[in-house]
Amino acid sequence: MRIEDLFDLYAYNSWANDRVRTSIKILTEDAFKEDLGGSFGSIQGTITHLVSAQWAWLKRWQGNSPNQSLQKDQFSTPKEGNSLWMEVDIDLTNFVKGLDNKMIQEIVSYETLEGKKLSNFLWQAMLHLLNHSTYHRGQIAILLRQVQAKPKSTDLIRYYWEKSE
C-alpha cells in the first residue's frame, strides 16, 4: 500500500460522505429518526454508527482508544449530525495529510470498545475504515429511499469521473 493510494481513497471517502450529508440535510427530523428496520434502525442510528466508527478509529491511530461510541443524542437532527460528521471528516483528512509511506507500515496497537487488545498495520486499519464507511453509506442509501428521499451516488468510479472533469 502506497501513501498516495490512501490519500486518494480518503479524498474519495470525504467526497462520498459529503454526498450523503447533502442527501440527508433535507430530511425532516421524523424521517431521520424513523425506525426503518435497518441494522441500526434509523438513518440517525446508521449515521451515528458510521461517524462513531470513523471517530474511534482516528482516536486509536492517535494513541487514544475510546471506551465508548458517540451517542445518538449527538446526532439528534440531520443538521447536528452533519455538523459533527464534518468535524470528524476534517480531522481524518488532516491526519491522513500528515502521513508518509513509512508511517502507514507501522503497527498500531489499540483496544476495542469491549476492551480487547489488538494490533494492525496502520494501512490495514485505514483500509478497514474505508470499507466499513462504504458499507454503511450503502445502507443509508436504502434507508433514504424508504423515506422517499433520493440518495446521491457515492460510487468510486463516479468520484474518478468527477475528478477527471
Phi, psi of 108 (to 5 degrees): -110, 125
Predicted pLDDT at 112: 95
Q: What is the separation of C-alpha 27 from the centre of its chain, rounded to a whole number of angstroms? A: 19
CA distance 159 to 147: 26
- pTM listed for this prediction: 0.95
Q: What is the rounded CA–CA span in Å between residue 52 and residue 57?
A: 9
Q: Which residues of 121-155 are buried (b: 16+ CB within 10 A; e: fewer)?
A: ebbebbbebbeebbebbebbbebbeebebebeebe
The whole-number pLDDT of residue 108 equals 97
Rounded distance between C-alpha atoms, residue 123 and residue 28, angstroms: 38
Write the CB contacts of 102 (distance below 8 Å, at least 6 apart in sequence): none
Q: What is the pLDDT at residue 165?
A: 86
Alpha carbon distance 33, 27 (integer Å): 10
Cα 60 to the chain's mean position, in Å? Answer: 15
Please list the pLDDT of the chain residue by residue as tens digits (165 residues). Answer: 899 999 999 999 999 999 999 999 999 999 999 999 999 999 999 999 999 999 999 999 999 999 999 999 999 999 999 999 999 999 999 999 999 999 999 999 999 999 999 999 999 999 999 999 999 999 999 999 999 999 999 999 999 999 998
**Structurally, what CATH architecture does the domain formed by 3-121+130-164 represent?**
Up-down Bundle (1.20)
* pLDDT for position 94: 97
pLDDT at 60: 98
CA-wise closest residue to 110 among 157, 146, 56, 159:
56
Sequence spans of domains, the chain: 3-121+130-164
The DSSP code for 75 is G
- The C-alpha angle 93, 62, 113, rounded to 5 degrees, equals 105
